[in-house]
Homo-oligomer: A and B are copies of this chain.
């Protein structure tokens, strides 16, 4: 996508020096756009752990490139051995709950083992990291192509008037390598000249909507309005939302959707006001092993200070301010589960399906037992 009119991905190889991986350091958005050079496995691990990069797809790609950087550092006599296995464990530990991260490092480890010489192993790791990133881009692009058909139909029903889309958190290109998941259909709509406008939930406590989604939509010239997380129900009651699209961290084989805390409340309001509620996801985020999202998906409880404090720009500097009484307790549940009964459809790289086992298996027949 674009930043200040120039094409970017969230992670790429430095054109002049293949030993340097570049990423957008997202900690400074929306206030500063900073590109960071990563020269080693350790620097990549820090970037993942400290959330310079975040989001399912991007963490996977970063882990892939982390394994590639590790091959450059590995001692010759031990390349496929202990050093790379240590690299795998260190990467996995950097964000323990990120499914894509484990997935990417395992792919890399298997691929690297097939190389015979040191140089071959490095080449394979480089190519595999690129493939992981490309697959992410390809899946997101397809999600966009499938999802835009829904927006196109809503636009037709409204006689070409603006289609208002509400989204929660950041399921944008900043969380993937390009395009994003929930945003991919929006960017596809913009390319087709369809009038869209996005209501951006600020998404407390970490404000990924206000800081990341608003920023990336602005950079693509997508009309958007930031709202408090409290506002969506009112907007839906008054016909100001035509559809909701969100991303997901994990979806069960029965269509229950774990996503950023607050998603469930928007799904309830959508149902109460007959607003279609879609979830955009690459199939890698489907957990085929579980059936009941409410009972089987563990919900991460994060640091309470993320609720008690917030960061923002003040006199040109990024400051952290206290919002609550000094000694009031806070709780910080990071995700909630939206039951399948509240979901209109799942938008995947293979098409759109109903949020149930049958719908998913029609798109992914290889998953039938």
Please list the residues of chain A having a beta carbon within 8 angstroms of any beta carbon in chain B.
30-31, 200, 202-205, 207, 210-211, 214-215, 218, 224-235, 237, 260-262, 264-266, 268-269, 272, 294, 299, 307-314, 319-333, 335-337
Contact = CB atoms under 8 A, between A and B. Distances in A.
A237 to B, nearest CB: 6
A237 B322 contact: no
A314 to B, nearest CB: 5
Contacts of A235: 333
Secondary structure class of chain A's binding surface, majority of residues? mixed
Nearest to A230: B262
A332 B226 CA distance: 9
Contacts of A335: 234
A328 B226 contact: yes
B228 A268 contact: no
A309 B312 contact: yes
Nearest to A206: B228
19 contacts: A30-B324, A200-B328, A202-B307, A203-B230, A204-B204, A204-B229, A211-B324, A214-B328, A225-B331, A226-B308, A226-B328, A229-B262, A234-B261, A234-B337, A265-B269, A310-B323, A312-B322, A312-B323, A314-B320
A325 B230 contact: no
A153 to B, nearest CB: 26
A227 B312 contact: no
A329 B309 CA distance: 24
Contact of A233 (B224, B265, B326): B265
A237 B314 contact: no
A186 to B, nearest CB: 15
A200 to B, nearest CB: 8
User: What 8 A-B pairs have minimum CB-CB distances, sorted nearest first?
Assistant: A312-B321, A230-B262, A234-B336, A30-B325, A268-B268, A204-B228, A313-B322, A233-B264
Contact of A211 (B229, B265, B323): B323
Contacts of A224: 328-329
A237 B307 contact: no
Contacts of A326: 30
B314 A225 contact: no
A323 B202 contact: yes
A173 to B, nearest CB: 15
A187 to B, nearest CB: 17
Given A229-B262, A328-B214, A234 B333 contact: yes
B214 A325 contact: yes
A138 B358 CA distance: 60
A229 B207 CA distance: 12
B314 A226 contact: no
Contacts of A237: 264, 294, 336-337
B226 A329 contact: yes
A73 to B, nearest CB: 38
Given A261-B234, A269-B265, A312-B321, A229 B228 contact: yes
B204 A233 contact: no
A300 to B, nearest CB: 11
Contact of A327 (B218, B294, B313): B218
B231 A333 contact: yes
Contact of A264 (B226, B269, B309): B269
Contact of A268 (B200, B205, B229, B269): B269
Nearest to A223: B329
Contacts of A319: 314, 319, 321
